[in-house]
Amino acid sequence: MKISRRKFFAGAGAAAGAFATTSESRIAAAQVAKTPKAVGLPDVWGQDFLYQWSPPDNVKRDTSPGPNVIRLSNSQDITNREGTDYAQMFQTMRDSGWTACEAASAAWLSRKMPDSEITEMKAQLKAHDVVFYNIHCAGNIIAPDPDAERWQRHIIDAYHSAEACGCRMILTHAGSMYPNRNTAHPLNWSKTAWERSVGALKNICKATAGGKVKICIEPVNTESINNPWAMKRLRDDVGDERINCGLDIQNMAYAGVAFRMTELLNTTFEVLNGMIGYIHAKDFVWDQMLPGLSWAMNGTGNMDYEVFLAHISKIPDPIMYVEFLSSPEEYQEAQRNIRAIAERIGVKIHGTQPPPQQA
């Protein structure tokens, strides 16, 4: 009978516990006995003495294209500015190769849009074949009280606006124990933080019960949803099918997976099968002495864009949101790389991009 190393040590720990007589050994035994089955990528080699950060030799790279055509959007958000010429706005997006758009919630909810304007916006979206799919929410649903409740109210308002505008989703976060959700609090992965996130989302689901709009959660390392298993568990704990993932796989990158992104992609799309609302398109490199990751141009970093695009083309109505770049020129460069890689493996991307401007 083959006994795995983990089982061997678990067994050894249990045996040690049984014979323990001193308080020290009792503590040690208790620690071993409570060792849970950990989430993470499979062992490669040397886990008993290395943090194994190299990929195995036999990583499966399935680059076969799926049947679905990907729409690209970027942070050229749809605005809620009074007097907006929607025909021109959507034509500009199309001319730049973008065929989907999302709104930022703070600006979007700052003005009550008249029904007639919503009707006009929808007509122009259809005329230009652009999809308005998301309200990207500000705020922190587990911020220290009383802010948490205020932000939950904001998310609920965004939800109702999304319904009115025909968006398929809103995007929010599990939140941080600090007021600013972008700041990692030492207790963001504590049971308290988890229960606050679950409770906040239950409140939001209850206030929007009966709605069809998806409530997507963006994973990010600074918060509790730092891997696909946590995302799945969050949906289970909230107990609402509308909880989905606004997948930002780059936000889950850390030293342990920085060079194993192909595997993380495969695992994530498997674990989150059927619950991915849309996908953020970024890239990164590990370019510092400490495990410091820096944002990189799409298609030049550690993301395996071939496998990434192949997976995305297999989910229904896929939309990729290119973000975290600094200028319209960079967004065009990112789009050019993404389209070239997609073409290489036969993945289809909606719309066309203008040729590069000659200097």
Q: Which residues bind other proteins (CB under 8 A)?
A: 55, 61, 63, 262, 285, 287, 294-297, 299-308, 324-326, 330, 333-334, 336-337, 339-341, 344, 356
Q: Which residues contact 263 (CB under 8 A, 6 or more apart)?
A: 41, 42, 55, 56, 59, 257
Residue 65 or 166: which CB sits closer to other proteins?
Answer: 65
The partner residues of 71 in beta bridges, in order of sequence, read 319
Asked if 281 and 320 count as a contact pair (C-beta separation under 8 A), the reply is yes
Q: Which is nearer to other proteins, 63 or 84 (CB)?
A: 63
Task: Name the β-bridge partners of 321.
Answer: 73, 280
* Cβ atoms < 10 Å from Cβ of 293: 19
Cβ atoms 219, 189 nearer than 8 A: no
Least Å from the CB of residue 336 to other proteins: 5
Instruction: Tell me whether residue 52 or residue 79 sits nearer to other proteins (CB atom).
Output: 52
| Beta-ladder partners of 171 | 136, 216
As a whole number of angstroms, the distance between CA 319 and CA 312 comes to 8
Minimum distance, C-beta of residue 325 to other proteins, in the bound complex (Å): 6
For residue 275, which of 221, 202, 217 has the smallest C-alpha distance?
A: 217
Least distance in Å: CB of 42 to other proteins? 17
Closest distance between other proteins and the C-beta of residue 153, in Å?
32
- The distance of closest approach from Cβ of residue 69 to other proteins in the complex, given in angstroms and rounded to an integer, is 19
Nearer to other proteins, 130 or 310 (CB): 310
With respect to other proteins, which residue has the nearer C-beta, 170 or 303? 303
Rg (CA), the chain: 23
For other proteins, which is the closer residue by CB, 200 or 334?
334
Least separation in angstroms between CB 55 and other proteins? 7
In degrees and rounded to multiples of 5, residue 172 shows phi and psi of -140, -170
Query: Which is closer to other proteins, CB of 291 or CB of 356?
Result: 356
CA 270 to chain centre: 14
Reading the block at residue 276, the tokens are: 């991915």
Q: How far is the CB of 60 from other proteins (least distance, A)?
A: 11
